[in-house]
Amino acid sequence: MPNTALIIIDMQTALVTGAFREHEVLERVGLLADKCRAAKVPVIYIQHNHASFEPMMKGQPGWNIHSAIAPEPGDLVIEKQASDAFYATELGATLRSLGIDTVMVTGMQTEYCVDATARSALSHEFDVVLISDCHTTGNAVITAEQIIAHHNATLPNVVHPSAAIRAVPSAEIAFP
């Protein structure tokens, strides 16, 4: 997948701790990040600065990216304040400056930031590969498992004239 970047959304301690299949998702995201680094594919972390939820406020212990998948030298970290990682951030410009046209999306929380960022990527005319086993959430009105399955099934059907979303498990991601 040439011209691709990995986006790791909000995998911060306060959100990841207790999430559905927390350890499995952390392991898969870590392995995918390592695979990307080895292939010289940019790894971009998105870090949420929450305005009112204290554990996610900048500088609080829960705000830190989970230590199991912490950024390494050469990785980029972009802070945000909205669910959409493109909104009022340099994400779009950074991706364009790197020649990226496809983003692999992983992270927290499936129904909020993962969903909003994947849809926004389409509006910014990036193709999206939703890594189907590398995003998670907690139980809400429906179970986390249902939320994840729903998004893996529906996001690839979001219509756009020049970009698309595909849902692909991490094991199927390969670089030449």
Strands 127-136 and 165-168 turn out to be: parallel
Cα distance between residue 111 and residue 158, in whole Å: 15
- Choosing from 113, 121, 122, 147, the catalytic residue is 113
Contacts of 103 (CB under 8 A, 6+ apart): 4, 5, 6, 7, 95, 121, 126, 127, 128, 129
Task: Give the residue from 26, 17, 81, 25 showing the smallest Cα distance to 53.
Answer: 81
Q: Tell me whether residue 36 is one of the annotated catalytic residues.
A: no
In 3-state terms the chain splits into helix, strand, coil percentages (rounded to 5) of 40, 25, 40
Question: Which strand ranges, in their side-by-side order, compose the sheet holding 127-136?
Answer: 76-80, 43-48, 4-9, 102-108, 127-136, 165-168
Query: Which residues share a beta bridge with 59?
Result: none
Active site residues: 113
